[in-house]
Amino acid sequence: MDTITTLNNTHKSINLRVEDVIVGDSGSSARSAVTRLKTDFDRTLIPKFNKSGLEAYAKNRNISVSDAYDDLCRQFRSAHEANVDKALSQVGLDAKSVGFKSYDRIGTASGQSDAYTEGFTNARQAASGSGEVFKVNADGTIRSYKISGQSVVDQNQLNKTLYKSGRIPDNPTAVSPREVPSIVREQVASLNQNPGDPLTVAKALGRTEKGANLLGNSLKNPKLTQAASEIYEDPGRTTAILKKYGFTDQAGNADPSKFCQAGKNAVNQLDQSLR
C-alpha cells in the first residue's frame, strides 16, 4: 500500500507519470531471527518514468535527462520511506525500530550510508532476492506482480542504459576484488552498531569471508566461519551452534560474547590489512 501511495502522490506533486516501479528485496529479511524485532526490511526502488514527462522535467530545470532521472529517483525514495514510516506509526512502530530503509536503485549512491557496491548487491539480489512490479495502467489504476531477483538486477541495468547512457556490463553480478575493501568496511560499521548480536556478527563474518576469498585469502578460522554460516541459516539454533563450536563459558553454557568478540576481531583484522 505504501508503494501505491507513493506512486499516486508522485503523480500529484510533480505532475509526472511514473509508469512502474520495481520494489526489490535482496532476501536478507527472510533469514532474520523470529525472536528479534529489529531485522533487515530493506527495499530497493527502481522507478521508470514517462519518457516525454522526464524530458520536460529536465528541460524546465535546465538539467540533463540523466540528472533529472537521478533527482526524481531520490525524491521517490524519500517519499516512499516517509510513507512507510507514517504507516508504521499507526501501529506504534517506526522505520528505525523494524530496520526499514528504502534504497534508490542499486549501488553506493542509493541514498543510504550503508549501501553496498553494485556488484555485491547485484549478486545478492540475483541469488536470493525477489521483486514486485507496481505498474500504472492507462486509467490510473495500479496492478502488481512478482518477479525474480535476477529480473530486478536486469531492469536496473536496463534503466541505466535508458536514462544514464551507460553500457550493460557483461556480468553485472560479478563482484570485483576492488569492491572488497568497501564491503569489509561496511561489516566493521555494522559490528560497531550491534557488537553483541550473534546474527549481525554471523552475517558480517559471512560477507567478510566471501570478500577475503575474492582476494585469494580467508579469515583462517574455519570453526568461526562455519559457526557463523550455521547461525545465519538458522538463527533459532544459535545457542546449540555456539555450544557445538565451543563458544561457551566455564560451565559449558553458550557464551555469545565469545563468538561476537572473535567475529569482530576477525573482521577488524582483515579490514586493517586492506588499508
Shared domain for 36 and 152, answered yes or no, is: yes
% the chain with pLDDT above 70: 85
In the chain, how many domains are there? Answer: 2
Residue 141 lies in a domain: yes
Same domain, 28 and 141: yes
Instruction: Categorize the per-residue pLDDT at 246 as very low, low, confident or very high, splitting at 50, 70 and 90.
Output: very high
pLDDT at residue 32 above 90? no
126 shares a domain with 20: yes
- Sign (positive/negative) of CA torsion 244, 249, 252, 253? negative
Q: pLDDT tens digits for 145-178? A: 999 988 888 888 888 887 876 566 666 666 778 8
Q: Looking at the domain assignment, is residue 152 inside a domain?
A: yes
Arithmetic mean of pLDDT over the chain: 83
Q: DSSP class of residue 28?
A: G
Pair (124, 222) in one structural domain: no
pLDDT band at 110 (very low <50, low <70, confident <90, very high): low
Asked whether 231 and 198 are in contact (CB, 8 A), the reply is yes
Q: What is the pLDDT of residue 171?
A: 67
147 vs 101: which has the higher pLDDT = 147
Q: Does 118 share its domain with 214?
A: no
Quick one: 181 and 152 in the same domain? no
For every residue of 44-88, DSSP letters joined together read: EEEEEE-HHHHHHHHHHTT--HHHHHHHHHHHHHHHHHHHHHHHH
> pTM for this one?
0.65
pLDDT at 170: 62
**Are residue 7 and residue 126 in the same domain, yes or no?**
yes
Q: Say if 227 falls within a structural domain.
A: yes
Same domain (yes/no): 182, 156? no
Q: Which domain holds residue 158?
A: 2-163
Greater confidence, 179 or 220? Answer: 220
